[in-house]
Structure 1
Amino acid sequence: MRVTARGSGLCAAAAVLLGVGLVFGYPHLVVLGTAAVAALMFAAAYVWWRPRLTVSRGVEPDRVMRGEPSTVTLRVGNTSRLRGATLVAHDRCGEASVPVPLLRLRAGGETTAQYPVPTVRRGVVPIGPLRVVRGDPLGLLSLARGYGGTARVWVYPRVHRLSAVPTGVTRSLDGRDDRVPHGTITFDTLREYVVGDELRRVHWRTSARVGELMVREQLDTSLPRLVVLLDDRRASYADPELFESACEAAASLVMAAFREELPIALRLLSGGRQVQRTSGNTARDYLDLLTEAEMSEKTEMSENSDIPEKSIAALRTQRLGDTLVYLSGDPDLSRVSTLRTAYPTLVAGVFGDARPALERVVVLAVRDGAEFAAAWDGVQAW
């Protein structure tokens, strides 16, 4: 319950009138003070009454690309048997408050309201709860209550179509890297049998040992395996829009990999969440990560300045693929250039006005996601 400025003044006046009237024996002042207290008690009783509302919320769709439409639909019902309701509620939509008028909502009735979700910015938009503020007629007190649940809308980065795909790399026994356009199938791991698997892939010896059917999972070693490393440090970007462009480039790479059915891994340089393509992951997992990504405040001078080094070291030791794509607004590529020995193909997308160059690294110096897509498709040889 919130006391308004008028209510605070009336409280102070009531205290002064009652104190002076009782101490100095002025009955008229006591009457005025008592009337002020009665007005406050009436206001408290009035705002304490709770409208009996039911709220159901629907968002369609709850995942959209930046700039695409999304709509919230509210169904508000009055479950009171006797009393109607006329009030203005407010629904939270991101940082804004959307008014939802509930006019002449009769007892047992229901009304529907819709409003668009702002999708001009990438990110997760929280929706709800519906907030009803009830104030008394004198404007002394107000009380806010929340109704219904909450929802979220994922506004994905824009995706620019990429048509070029790097060639795959297979490692020979003598240690050199051979580029091949078509793959060789080799054993990768064993997993449990699921309905639909071919029986010729069952590994009978292991199945007899563990007591259940185990199937050989095979892998095309020459398919290009992409690793996307997104620099999410705030210090790397002179303009926040450059980070948005880097997210667009990462989303474009993810969608291109899924369209071509290629393995892909996505990591954040700050050491946050990561996604690696498995049988259970979908493009939605990657896009959700890119939508939730925010620029980290960790800088080179902070106590966590070794986190980027740990991320680089992990990529060097694990070697998740053969093509590493580094996306950043920092033209200094000395840190990521150390990965040239682990990844035969190293691509650096640098967003901004800088035009860095580095030996054995394909550098794409661009300003936004659209330029990145054009530069990516314009690479003559990987």
Structure 2
Amino acid sequence: MGITARGIGLLTVAVLLLGAGFRFAYPELALLGAAAGGALSVAVVIAARRPRLLVHRQADPDRVARGEPATMTLTVRNAGRLPAASLLATDRCGDRVVPVPVLRLRPGADTTVSYDVPTSRRGVVPVGPLRMTRRDPLGLVVLARSYGDGVPVWVHPRIHPLNAVPTGAGRSLDGRVDAVPHGSITFDSLREYVVGDELRRVHWRTSARVGELMVRENVDTSLPRIVVLLDNRAAAHPGRVDGVAESFESACEAAASVVTAAVREDLPVVLLFVAAQHDPGAQHDPGGQDRRGGQDGAAGAVGVGPLDRLAAVSLTGEGTMAAAVARLRRDRLGDTLVVLTGPGGRDDLGHIGALRGAYPSVVVGVFGAAEPTPPGAAGLVVVDAADGAAFAAEWDGVRRW
């Protein structure tokens, strides 16, 4: 709660009048001072009354590619018994403030306002909560409260269609690439028995030890697995305009395109970052799948898909390519490695080239470089591209697939 300039002036006058009235025995001045103080007290009581408002908001859609339209619909309902008079409401949408008409909202009535969400830049656009400002009729006191919860609108990178999809170093047993949920080649882990599992896959020795049925989980090692490593270090993307590194935005578009192409072909895909991110999707589950709309597959452990992670990823100065390469060599998460970096990342091609023994197929995408990468650098297949669309055009021509 705050007092306006008018309220401060009235309070000052009330104190002066009361002091002068009692000091010089002028009851008229004291009466005027008491009236001014009473008006200020009534203003505080009126402004402090909290109206019962129900706020519902709906984003349509809540996940879009950069540049696609998104609309936010906000409904405010007066659930109280008194009119919600003298109210000013604003809704925050990113860096923009949207006015909401709620003046003299009758009991049981509602008002709806729709507005466009800015999607010109990749990222997570926070929308809300609704900010309600209440004033007294004289404008002496103002009180601001928040109603409802804020919702995010995920602006994903643009997706460019890729025709060629890596098939890995091996083939499935019947001579084609297929996605078998439970392979029969290599032991992977043990899990609890669920209805429908074959009894021949029960591991009886472990089941006897833990007291419940445990089932062997096998994987088909011939199924290709794609690992996408996005270089999100600030040093790898030095050029910025208005705080935006276009080379990094192009790398995000390329990563989204590769992930989407892999999900379309039902191929396992893992999305990693060179520098750790402190977003909800920073942890990943290589085997997890989330088919929300077909564009958030291979979700993280907390249910955030890779395209959501790409929307939330930002440049950071932490992390080194050497540490990321060491992690990839240790874990061996797949057989096809796609590294996406900027002009400043070409100095680390030697580190990436050391992974050729662990990953049969290694392709590096370099975005925004002034000069092309020398042929045969570190023995890698390097795709130089100005943006995501150029990368998609060059991708289909890579012979490594």
Structure-2-length-normalised TM-score: 0.79
Residues 1:7 and 1:169: Cα distance change in structure 2 (over 3 Å): same
Query: Are 2:279 and 1:262 aligned?
Result: no
Of 320, 327, 344, the residue aligned with 2:333 is 320
For the residues of structure 2 that align with 1:78 and 1:25, how far apart are their CA atoms?
50
- Offset, 1:56: 2.6
SS in 1 for 2:284: strand
**Could you tell me which residue of structure 2 aligns to residue 47 of structure 1?**
47
- Offset, 1:339: 2.5
For the residues of structure 1 that align with 2:288 and 2:85, how far apart are their CA atoms?
52
- Offset, 1:143: 0.5
SS in 2 for 1:257: helix
CA contact (8 A) 1:203 1:213 kept: yes
Of 263, 276, 294, the residue aligned with 2:314 is 294
Task: Work out the percentage of aligned pairs sharing the same amino acid.
Answer: 55
Q: Unaligned stretches of 5+ in structure 1? A: 172-179, 299-304
**Could you tell me which residue of structure 1 aligns to residue 258 of structure 2?**
253
Give a deviation string over 1:219-256, Cα, whole Å, max 9, x none.
Answer: 33333321111112223221223222211111111111
For the residues of structure 1 that align with 2:26 and 2:85, how far apart are their CA atoms?
43
- Code of the aligned partner of 2:355: L
- Offset, 1:257: 1.0
CA contact (8 A) 1:51 1:85 kept: no
For the residues of structure 2 that align with 1:50 and 1:224, how far apart are their CA atoms?
60
- Offset, 1:269: 0.8
CA contact (8 A) 1:345 1:361 kept: no
Query: Are 2:152 and 1:121 aligned?
Result: no
1:1-382 aligned at under 5 Å gives the runs: 1-23=1-23, 29-83=29-83, 85=85, 87-170=87-170, 186-189=185-188, 190-197=190-197, 215-237=215-237, 238-239=239-240, 240=244, 241-272=246-277, 273-282=282-291, 283=297, 285-298=305-318, 308-329=321-342, 330=344, 331-333=346-348, 334-354=350-370, 355-357=372-374, 358-382=377-401
For the residues of structure 1 that align with 2:221 and 2:163, how far apart are their CA atoms?
22
For the residues of structure 2 that align with 1:87 and 1:271, how far apart are their CA atoms?
44
SS in 2 for 1:341: coil
Residues 1:5 and 1:340: Cα distance change in structure 2 (over 3 Å): farther
- Code of the aligned partner of 2:77: G
Residues 1:195 and 1:280: Cα distance change in structure 2 (over 3 Å): farther
SS in 1 for 2:185: strand
More strand by share: 1
Q: Unaligned stretches of 5+ in structure 2? A: 292-296, 300-304
For the residues of structure 2 that align with 1:182 and 1:123, how far apart are their CA atoms?
34
For the residues of structure 1 that align with 2:84 and 2:135, how far apart are their CA atoms?
17
**Could you tell me which residue of structure 1 aligns to residue 302 of structure 2?**
none
CA contact (8 A) 2:89 2:131 kept: yes
Residues 1:194 and 1:66: Cα distance change in structure 2 (over 3 Å): farther
- Code of the aligned partner of 2:347: D
Give the stretch that moved more between structures: 136-145 or 65-74. 65-74
For the residues of structure 1 that align with 2:308 and 2:169, how far apart are their CA atoms?
29
For the residues of structure 1 that align with 2:396 and 2:59, how far apart are their CA atoms?
36
Give a deviation string over 1:291-330, Cα, whole Å, max 9, x none.
Answer: 22122243xxxxxx6x554332111211111222111222
Structure-1-length-normalised TM-score: 0.83
